Each structure stands twice: as C-alpha cells, then as structure tokens.
Amino acid sequence: MSILYAFTPSPIGQLLLAGTGAELQALRFPPVAAPGDRATPDPDWLPDPDAFEQAKAQLAEYFAGARQTFSLRLAPRVTAFQAEVLAALGRIPYGETRSYSAIARSIGRPTAVRAVGAANARNPLPILIPCHRVVGADGSLTGFGGGLPAKRHLLNLEQRTAC
C-alpha cells in the first residue's frame, strides 16, 4: 500500500503528515536549523495535498487551544516495547508532564529509563502521541525532535489552555 503525505501549517512550522490515507503513520517536524523549511518525506511516499483533512483540522484546533485530545486513526510502526511507551505517553494528561523514570515505572519497567527515552525519541507521531510532555527528572526540558523551542511552545500552549 502506498504511503501518502501532506503538509499542514502550525505555529512551530510546516508539519508533514504521512500514512495510508485512512490512518496516520507519521508526523514530522521541519528541520530545527532551517525555520520556514518543510519536513522531508521519504522518497517513495506520494504527495497528496488533500490527504488527512481530519488530522489537519484537529491539529489546527489543538494549536488554537480548542482541542485537548485527538480522535484519529493512528498506526505507528513500532516495536512492542515502543508501543508500551507510546501508550503510556498517551495517558499523560493535557497540560501535565511526566519524567522518563515515571513513564518507566508506569509500564512496570522501573530500570528501563534509558530505553524509555530512546522509545520516546523515536515516536513517529509527536504531538498526537504527546512525547513533548516528557521532561527530565528535575523538570527540565530535554531533547525533542522538533527542537526545544517547539517543545516549550507546546507545553506553554497546554498550560495556558488546560481546564
């Protein structure tokens, strides 16, 4: 099955959405060092500017502060362990954060903090699966695929609009 992709604007740059059309498999950020640029699709993906209209609308609502959860068909291609971590990320409430060690404990693997960090870093659907809500044990902002300014923007948006 072909993978389609489309771009959608956001306050943190042009986001790339990719998947089968019925379900999303990836959301990518533009390069951190090149503001205004777009994320790069894989070479065998097919452009379809009309794809993922529901995802585009829900992301626009999220960035406007009007949406706290997403109701989209997501199909990340990940390992079983990564799926456990992504499920735990999905349980972090809007406007809140958790540490890597808290995520490791929540999946019953308290010593797997580094593996949780690696799975978090490989999240193929950031924002939709909220890896930006994971912070260091001391509450500090740690790495983020979209860059720390984007992570700060997402957390500030959620803290301002949390009910």
Amino acid symbol at 109: R
Which residue pairs from 140-145 have beta carbons closer than 8 angstroms and sit at least 24 positions apart in sequence?
A: 142/100, 142/117, 145/28, 145/29, 145/121
151 Cβ contact list (under 8 Å, min separation 6): 132, 141, 144
Contact 32, 147 (CB under 8 A): yes
Which of 131, 150, 154, 155 is flagged as catalytic?
A: 131
163 is catalytic: no
Amino acid symbol at 57: A
Residues with active-site annotation: 131
